[in-house]
């Protein structure tokens, strides 16, 4: 690794050792090394297929039964990277938690790879939800998504809620759908209290989550960005590293 990058790695590790409260925000970029494409990068899902972004809007999902049928069929057949495994970046953040240096991990990802790597739900906010569960858009009932997938495999193409007959969807936050208020409030409180904020693999362009680094900076925290592409916060950051996350994070955590 170039000497300049090595110097930044050592500096970030020193800040981590000194920090009494560190918040980490992760985006799709940390999962690309696990074979999951990001959304807005040069080869991102929505960069190559703008129609896919439209299909991810709540209004379209609720209004279009054929879209729901295609979505459930795809998931029942093993779509959405259900076989993906955590990579070195995920494992490094789990190790950071084990070392007692992670106050809160806020992830925009719905892939559960942080959980698989060993991070605990007690110190994690899945701000955009997850694919492990389903939710009824009518009564709010939740449960393991496998229950719905079993119904699809048994012949139901658009399974309704068994409690109220409402529309079921994965427990993810779609475009046009509000975040869970307490999840965002918890993330904002942690950002306001932290001494160090790491933004990893995120474009920092999706709001309101992209406000979190601003909250941290406004309250005196240092900001570190580890991302392949430029972000709107680069000029405000105390350190920016563009090397592969799966190489950089383990190197940093090893020095903590």
Q: Which two tokens stand for residue 210?
A: 């992209």
Strands of the sheet with 196-200, listed across from one edge: 124-126, 104-107, 22-26, 196-200, 222-226, 239-241
90 catalytic? Reply is no
What's the number of CA atoms in the CB half-sphere (13 Å) around residue 66? 0
Catalytic residue among 90, 114, 128, 238: 128
- 104 forms bridges with which residues in the sheet? 23
What's the number of CA atoms in the CB half-sphere (13 Å) around residue 221? 29
Checking 222-225 for CB contacts under 8 A at 24+ apart, the result is: 222/15, 222/19, 222/195, 222/196, 222/197, 223/197, 223/199, 224/12, 224/15, 224/196, 224/197, 224/198, 224/199, 225/198, 225/199, 225/200
Task: Respond yes or no on whether the N-terminal peptide bond of residue 28 is cis (omega within 30° of 0).
Answer: no
State how far the Cα of 229 lies from the Cα of 84, in Å rounded to an integer: 23
Q: Which residues are known catalytic residues? A: 128
């Amino acid at each position: 690794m170039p000497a300049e990058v090595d110097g930044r790695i050592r500096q970030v590790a020193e800040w981590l050792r000194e920090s009494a409260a560190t918040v980490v925000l992760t985006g799709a970029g940390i999962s690309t090394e696990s074979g999951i494409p990001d959304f807005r990068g040069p080869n991102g899902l929505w960069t190559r297929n703008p129609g896919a972004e439209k299909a991810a809007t709540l209004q379209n999902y609720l209004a279009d039964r054929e879209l729901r049928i295609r979505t459930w069929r795809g998931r029942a057949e093993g779509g959405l990277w259900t076989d993906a495994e955590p990579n070195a970046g995920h494992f490094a953040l789990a190790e950071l938690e084990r070392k007692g240096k992670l106050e809160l991990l806020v992830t925009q990802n719905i892939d559960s790879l942080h959980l698989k790597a060993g991070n605990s739900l007690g110190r994690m906010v899945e701000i955009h939800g997850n694919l492990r569960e389903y939710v009824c858009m009518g009564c709010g009932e939740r449960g393991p998504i496998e229950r719905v997938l079993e119904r699809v495999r048994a012949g139901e193409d658009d399974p309704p809620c068994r409690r109220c007959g409402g529309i079921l969807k994965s427990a993810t936050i779609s475009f046009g759908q509000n975040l869970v208020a307490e999840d965002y409030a918890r993330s904002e409180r942690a950002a306001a209290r932290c001494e160090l904020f790491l933004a990893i693999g995120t474009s920092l362009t999706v709001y309101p989550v992209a406000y979190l680094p601003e909250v941290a900076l406004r309250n005196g925290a240092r900001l570190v960005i580890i991302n392949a592409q430029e972000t709107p916060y680069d000029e405000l950051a105390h350190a920016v590293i563009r090397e592969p996350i799966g190489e950089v994070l383990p190197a940093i955590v090893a020095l903590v």
